[in-house]
Amino acid sequence: MIIPIEDEKVLSEHIEAPELVSGQGRRTANTQLDDAARLLAEAGGHVDYTPQDGKRILRMIDFYVCLPMCLTYFIQQMDKSSVSYAAVFNLQTEAGLVGTQYSWLSSVVYVAQLVCQPLSSCALIVFPVKYWVIFNFAAWSVVTLCTSAAKNFTGLVVARLFLGMFEATILPSFVLITQMWWLRREQSYRTIAYQIANSCAAIVGPLLSYAIGKATSSSNVIKPYQGIFIFIGAISLAFVPLVAWLLPNSPTTARFLRKGNDRLIAIERLRENNTGTKTSKWKWDQFWETYKDPKTYLWAGMWFCAACPSGGIGAFGGLITKGFGFDTFTTILMQMPTGGIGIIALLLSIYITNRIKMRWPVLAVITLFPIGGALGLTQVSHSHPSGLMACYYVAYLFSAIQPLLISWCNLNAAGTTKRVVTTATMFGALTVGNIVGPQVYLTKEAPYYHTGLYVDIGCWCVEFILIVSMGFYLRRLNRKQEARRVAMGMPADIKDISIMSTAEADAYKIELTEMMARSGFDMSHFNENSFDDMTDWENPNFMYVL
């Protein structure tokens, strides 16, 4: 029997631990098991499978889940960035934009997302995630097409408002999907995969815009900026049926998991996460726990500080480089390396992260590069365009910060409602940052935009402090979790299997089995609450990822 903790000091930063009793009478932390637990219970509570079966299931999941996520994120970034491509082709002049009106074309997207995202997060609790994603995907594709008809600020801002409304669901949906399908050791790579698709859009988008601009520059019917919206919107709409065919709802209903015990294996794999998969019940206790958790506010601060510079440079990057003295078509082509920089930075950072099994040192080091690059942009003379472009590309390493934050945050919350509310809060901070970001780039300061760059530098400095603080705080929480397990009679120094490589995890399970046996437990007690939809505060077996 596992005895609950009585030591109040150990529980000083946790809600009261539920009673955990092995056997048929075991109470769970909530009134219902989630969907995965129900299916496993019907199958006898546990499914044995070979490493070959696990790899086969993982390959299918990557094809049917990760691939459509990458396609969707690629298209979404193309649609969202279409206005910055159009800006290089004189959108401001053609549409008669003055003052801060162009800035608002970027900010209004995130205003809409800030309003609609909480509703979208609630929808993820009760609606099948696949159909919610597909509906919004089709809707924003149509909006991008219709943007081509806008010829003034009013038309453009209305179109961008609707674009933000429909795109609001994508990041929260993908965070939830990632947590539903992959082990924590696998999640980082899959999160980075669809973020790399984002960077690929930064390569393909300018190239397409260059071609469209060339093709329509002499047209009397379609202006270059209109051609960009039409073409990108049409590509987006064409991908909707493919994503709809590939993307499943959840491991418990996926049509590609029909052979033998494939569905049960896909669920059993997730036991090590201690986060469950998905429950279709809103739980207010998890909602309130989210806002009692100091991590929520640290995450929110980090996401704001990452998004503010991203929103500003994302909207004004083309105009900044055009101010170095390049013509319109050269400016478009000079944006393409930023995608390659993002891809290389993400691949290298996630490789190092998984080697050292820690996120915060990698993030902290990456944050130093955009600080240096942006400082260079404020100090190098505009008579040296090559030096300015070098500084711009160094600063663009900021594009790796946000994806790594998403991956890190994903790994440190459990409980369906808490995960969704945490993501919603983070996304709220992100949208506020993206609203503020373009507004600090003042038209009167073109092409230097020093106010915007100094604000970005300040955000990255605060980001660095918050990242280091979170690393130390999570280490402290892990010590408290260990104290809870020891008070229950479990061994000390249990390592987090979910972030190990497969080979490391298999070897450590043998050692862990012996450790558990010496303490009077068998492995059935380890991760026994994995599918009970318990939060990280409730589950003493949950381990925070540094």
Distance linking the first and last C-alpha atoms of the chain? 31
Does residue 191 lie in a domain region? yes
Do residues 434 and 110 make contact, with C-beta atoms less than 8 angstroms apart?
yes
- Cα–Cα dist 444/455, whole Å: 16
Predicted local distance difference test score (pLDDT) of residue 371: 96
User: Number of helices (H) and strands (E), helices first, in the chain?
Assistant: 21, 0
Do residues 326 and 447 make contact, with C-beta atoms less than 8 angstroms apart?
no
Does residue 506 lie in a domain region? no
Q: Which residue range is the domain that position 210 belongs to?
A: 53-257+265-270+282-477
Q: Tell me phi and psi for residue 197, to 5 degrees.
A: -60, -35
Tokens of 83: 């206005």
Tokens of 406: 């998403």
Helical packing angle, 401-410 and 170-181, nearest 10°: 50
What CATH number should be reported for the domain holding residue 93?
1.20.1250.20
Does residue 157 lie in a domain region? yes
Q: Tell me phi and psi for residue 247, to 5 degrees.
A: -70, 125
Tokens of 102: 């162009």
Which 8-state DSSP code applies to residue 43?
T
Cα pseudo-dihedral 132, 136, 137, 141, rounded to 10: 160
- Cα–Cα dist 453/380, whole Å: 13
Does residue 236 lie in a domain region? yes
The three-class DSSP label of residue 406 is: helix
Does residue 4 lie in a domain region? no
Q: How many residues does the chain have?
A: 546
Predicted local distance difference test score (pLDDT) of residue 86: 84
The three-class DSSP label of residue 490 is: coil
396: closest CA among 379, 371, 378, 362?
371
Each residue's pLDDT, cut to its tens digit, for the chain (546 residues) gives: 333 333 333 333 333 333 333 333 333 333 333 566 666 666 566 677 787 888 899 999 999 999 999 999 999 988 888 888 888 788 888 888 888 888 888 888 888 988 887 777 777 777 788 889 999 999 999 999 999 998 899 999 999 999 999 988 888 888 888 878 888 778 878 888 888 888 888 888 888 888 888 888 777 778 888 888 999 999 999 999 999 999 998 887 888 887 778 888 888 787 766 555 555 577 888 889 999 999 999 999 999 999 999 888 877 887 788 888 887 788 878 888 888 898 899 889 888 988 888 899 999 999 999 999 999 999 988 888 888 899 999 998 998 898 888 878 877 877 878 887 888 888 889 889 988 988 898 888 888 888 999 999 999 999 999 999 999 999 999 999 889 888 888 887 888 777 777 777 778 877 877 787 777 776 666 666 556 677 888 888 888 989
Tokens of 109: 């997207």
Does residue 365 lie in a domain region? yes
Does residue 531 lie in a domain region? no
pTM over 0.85: no
Does residue 507 lie in a domain region? no
Predicted local distance difference test score (pLDDT) of residue 273: 63
- Cα–Cα dist 338/360, whole Å: 24
Assign 3-class secondary structure to 238-306.
HHHHHHHHHCCCCCCCCCCCCCCCHHHHHHHHHHHHCCCCCCCCCCHHHHHHHHHCHHHHHHHHHHHHH
Domain count, the chain: 1
Predicted local distance difference test score (pLDDT) of residue 28: 37
- Cα–Cα dist 370/52, whole Å: 43
Tokens of 197: 């698709």
Do residues 155 and 149 make contact, with C-beta atoms less than 8 angstroms apart?
yes
